[in-house]
Amino acid sequence: MKYNIYKRRLKHGTFFYVRFKNADGTYSQAINTGKKTRRDAMAYADFILAKNNKIPGDDVHFEVFADGFFMPGSDYVSLNRHLREDYLKNRQSVLINHIMPFFKNYRMGEINRVTIDDFKISLSSRGMSTSLLNRILRTLGIILNFAEDRGIMEKTPRIKSEKDKPYKPIDMLTEDEASQLFSIPWMTPASYSHPARPETAGRLGNLIASETGLRLGEIQGLLIGDIKFSDGFIDINKGWNNHLNKMNPTPKNGKSRLVPLTNKLAGELLSYLKNHHPDGMNQTAFLFPAEKTPGKPMEKKIFVRSLENALQKIGISPEERKRRGIHFHSWRYVANSRLINKGIPLPNIQAIIGHLSDRMTARYHIISKKDLQNIKRILDQETPALYDKTPVENELPGMMKDITPDKGSPENALSVHSGWFLICT
């Protein structure tokens, strides 16, 4: 037997696959014949051997070939085990919602540049963003390239991405607005059945984001042990995935990093662990544990809603917030711009914020009118810009002493790190 026939159950039915035997005794990669009976699959395999040609795409429907393409156990996923689960889930969603409805009745051999142009026109008519449109086109390209590699198509048609629209400037929070935000009490809105109550965790989560530029999932994934009080930094080695409701083993860019822990933030964290955390001495506990679900971090919406409530209290209405594009992720712009404006080298900022390129770091930089005035004053004085020194708060040593797990154990003692913590690249 010059080939091996077997069947697989897919979402749209059971189909037979074929693997051809090579001259060295090994077998080729499995190919979906698109046939539902063993006899038809064998006739198909015999036809390929007789013609000694590539599999004609006219005999394979796109719907059959692409069914479950990004699902666990598919040929593509089996050959690309390094791909993250959330990436595959996103691509499968794109395939089901955008690609499959258009191409499901096409045979692979019928897909060409004209067909793809028609597909792009149909997407554009739906008013979707350029980024989403290009994500859909890239997903289609992955499928068609795989079909070419497997011999299903003679050649993958060229898929040209759409040009990005001009970058829309972001009207981020100013330093004065950020300072005002954290100077007011953060409270939940009162109702007839529930009185207003402090949003301690929501406020602290936003403060961490403003001081460090951490992503929301990275803040959710923080354990108490990740806060290195004695060394003056926070260890970012994982992140909570809100789509899959589980922990990612690495941050978004796949690389762990260390970020500076300012004295101001250290004092806030120590106060929170001492007075508000249910298990503040447990190094393996979430910094922000869920109130009703053991073993899970606090929900994303708590941090988002608390920010929206606080913005309203300083006079930024929901309409203005949407117009200016202010949301939780805006804190990354604030932190990124603050570091740049203080003159910290770009490679260090890139390492702290967690960007893979300095281009992205520069894109996150937004210069304010106040910064321009400061730069002008510096240039007029002809003096170099210096790092601002953060004063050590007097109450920190006492607070750290109170929360020390074992006062008699030197290795457990917490001390204030008063110097600058720089990340070397």
Residue 70 has what pLDDT? Answer: 94
Q: What is the structure's pLDDT at 71?
A: 92
pLDDT at 124: 86
- Residue 52: φ, ψ to 5°: 50, 45
3 state SS of 231: coil
Confidence of residue 400 (pLDDT cuts 50, 70, 90): low
Poorest-pLDDT segment among 105-114, 284-293, 363-372:
363-372
CA distance 373 to 380: 10
Q: How many whole angstroms separate alpha carbon 58 and alpha carbon 124?
A: 28
| Residue 414 vs residue 221, higher pLDDT | 221
Of 253, 208, 255, the C-alpha closest to 234 is 208
Phi and psi at 185, nearest 5°, equal -70, 135
Instruction: Give 412's pLDDT tier (boundaries 50, 70, 90).
Output: very low
Q: Does the pLDDT at position 386 exceed 80?
A: no
Angstrom distances, CA of residue 161 to CA of 103, 129, 134, 176, 218: 18, 13, 6, 41, 31
Q: Is the pLDDT of residue 319 over 80?
A: yes
Residue 251 contacts by C-beta under 8 Å, 6 or more apart in sequence? Answer: 215, 218, 236, 237, 238, 239, 257, 354
- Domains along the chain with CATH numbers: 3-149 (1.10.150.130), 175-412 (1.10.443.10)
In the structure, what pLDDT confidence band is assigned to residue 236 with cuts at 50, 70 and 90? very high
CA distance to 97, 185, 243, 330, 358, per residue, from 306 (Å)? 33, 11, 21, 14, 32
The predicted structure's pLDDT at residue 414: 37
Task: Please report where in the chains the tokens 């200016």 appear, as a residue.
Answer: 324
Q: Which of 8-22, 224-238, 361-375 has the lowest mean pLDDT?
A: 361-375
Task: Note the pLDDT of residue 269.
Answer: 96
Over 60: is that where the pLDDT of 166 sits? Answer: no
CA distance 361 to 82: 26
> Mean pLDDT highest for which of 129-138, 173-182, 295-304?
295-304
As a whole number, the mean pLDDT across the chain is: 81
Q: How confident is the model at residue 47 (pLDDT cuts 50, 70, 90)?
A: confident
Query: What pLDDT does residue 405 have?
Result: 52
Q: Please give the model's pTM, rounded to 2 decimal places.
A: 0.61
In this prediction, residue 169 carries a pLDDT of 59
Sequence-ordered list of residues with C-beta below 8 angstroms from that of 56, at least 6 positions apart, any chain: 109
Residues 213, 331: Cα–Cα separation, whole Å: 6
Sign of CA dihedral 356, 359, 363, 369: positive
Long-range CB contacts (within 8 A, 24+) of 81-88: 84/248, 85/244, 86/241, 86/243, 86/244, 86/248
Instruction: List CB contacts of 137: < 8 A, sequence separation 6 or more.
Output: 120, 159, 161, 162
pLDDT in tens, 273-298: 999 999 988 999 999 999 889 899 99
Name which of 31-40, 147-156, 203-212 the model is least confident about: 147-156
Percent of the chain, pLDDT > 70?
78
pLDDT at 357: 66
Distance CA 35, CA 60 (A): 9
For residue 168, the model assigns a pLDDT of 58
Q: How confident is the model at residue 255 (pLDDT cuts 50, 70, 90)?
A: confident
Question: Does an H or E element contain 87, and which?
Answer: helix 85-94
Q: Which of 211-225, 342-356, 409-423 has the lowest mean pLDDT?
A: 409-423
Over range 182-194, report the average pLDDT: 86
Please indicate whether residue 50 or residue 415 has the higher confidence score (pLDDT): 50
**Amino acid code (one letter) for 14:** T
DSSP string of 142-185, one letter each residue? HHHHHHHHTTSSSSPPP-PPPPPPPPPPP-PPPHHHHHHHTTS-
* pLDDT of the residue at 368: 56
Per-residue model confidence (pLDDT) at position 419: 36
